[in-house]
Amino acid sequence: MFIRTLALSALAVTAFVSHSVEAAPREVRIASHVSSLSPLHQQSEMFAAEIEKRLPGQFKFTLYPGGQLGKEKALITNVKAGSLEMINVASGIMKLDKKLGLFDLPWLFSDREHVRRAMGSILGQQVRERIESKAGIKVVGIYENGFRHVLNKARAIHVPQDLKGLKVRISGGKFRQGVFQKMGATPQKVSWKETFTALQTGVVDGVEAATYGFYEQKQFEVAKHLSQTGHVYTPSFLVASGTFWKSLDAKQQQVFIEVGQAITDQAYEGAKALEAKYFSEMKQHVSINTVDLQAFQAATQASYDEYVKSQGEDWLKLVKDAR
């Protein structure tokens, strides 16, 4: 009887310990190469908060913005390898496949509403599937990094000729590099963290980036001409490693996908609000101007011809249909 009681007690302890282990929230890191001032960080916060509502106590999300776990290329490599659970990145994803160079094409989208219509259609699904098949990762959500503009020290940019001779720090793939070269600028490769110093010392005359980039680095302190070129729109991609994704049960996977989709509108609205806030604050320090969009579109049409020749026009047609 005594032995039976001990056995039952042992089973009870084992069950309690097992239950405690199962109940412990699972650690999930979401890393990004950009700062906590970016839409990407905001999106990661939205996602983590909503998952907690839907799956309370099952996960403990820790966000690592600002390249704390590595630059964008390293983050993508690590999530592909399964050594990092989740990341939220932007331009680096385009390098996975040449067809994704679509998002480096100039003036592809007329405005944010055009983006939302296009990415909410079959285009968004095909982009998602393309990334997953090329990298073995799971795309949980596609949101916004933002429209990119040009900040420089020399002069306001109104027409393509105004870029001639300027050394511009440019990120992105060959299509974006080519766009600036065709307009007479000289693309420069400079680490993002060194861009402020590069502007200050004259290593570069200007930089193209999303609005939050200018703001977070206070680049407006050393360059006073901010031209709203809106030359490229870059999505953001919230992705999970294949290893992490396969470790989730069916219900968890379903909720992750549902939440990733459900916060899309909120993510776009959040990005829009951040951009407006940063422009408003920078107006106190820089001269902000609009540009002759038709002149820029005409000057860069060849970029579209090159893309169609190598990648086809099916995705471009989907963008055009959404306009």
CB 93 within 8 A of CB 131: yes
| pLDDT at site 302 | 85
Of 102, 38, 28, 106, which Cα lies nearest the Cα of 67? 38
Q: Please give the Cα distance from 1 to 15 (Å, whole number).
A: 21
Check whether residue 123 and residue 205 sit in a common domain: no
58, 83, 124 from 27: Cα distances, Å: 9, 13, 29
Question: Residue 217: CB partners within 8 Å, gap ≥ 6?
Answer: 195, 196
| pLDDT at site 148 | 95
Write out the residue range of the structural domain in which residue 263 sits: 26-145+235-278
Judge whether 11 lies within some domain: no
What is the residue-level pLDDT of the chain in tens, covering all 323 positions? Answer: 444 444 444 444 444 444 444 669 999 999 999 999 999 999 999 999 999 999 999 999 999 999 999 999 999 999 999 999 999 999 899 889 999 989 989 999 989 999 999 999 999 999 999 999 999 999 999 999 999 999 999 999 999 999 999 999 998 667 778 888 888 999 999 988 899 999 999 999 999 999 999 999 999 999 999 999 999 999 999 999 999 999 999 999 999 999 999 999 999 999 999 999 999 999 999 999 999 988 998 888 888 998 999 999 999 999 999 98
CATH number of the domain bearing residue 199? 3.40.190.170
Judge whether 5 lies within some domain: no
Judge whether 159 lies within some domain: yes
- Please list the residues that pair with 148 across neighbouring strands: 210, 232
HSE-up (13 A, CA, CB side) for residue 132 = 17
| pLDDT at site 179 | 83
Check whether residue 97 and residue 44 sit in a common domain: yes
pTM listed for this prediction: 0.88
| pLDDT at site 23 | 67
Beta strands in the chain (DSSP E): 26-31, 59-64, 86-89, 138-142, 146-152, 167-169, 186-188, 206-210, 225-234, 237-240, 287-290
**CB contact burial 184-217 (16+ within 10 A = b; e otherwise):** ebebbebebeebbebbeeeebbbbbbbbbbbbbb
Domain count along the chain: 2
CB 37 within 8 A of CB 257: no
Judge whether 171 lies within some domain: yes
Check whether residue 66 and residue 212 sit in a common domain: no
**Residues comprising the chain, all counted:** 323
Check whether residue 243 and residue 112 sit in a common domain: yes
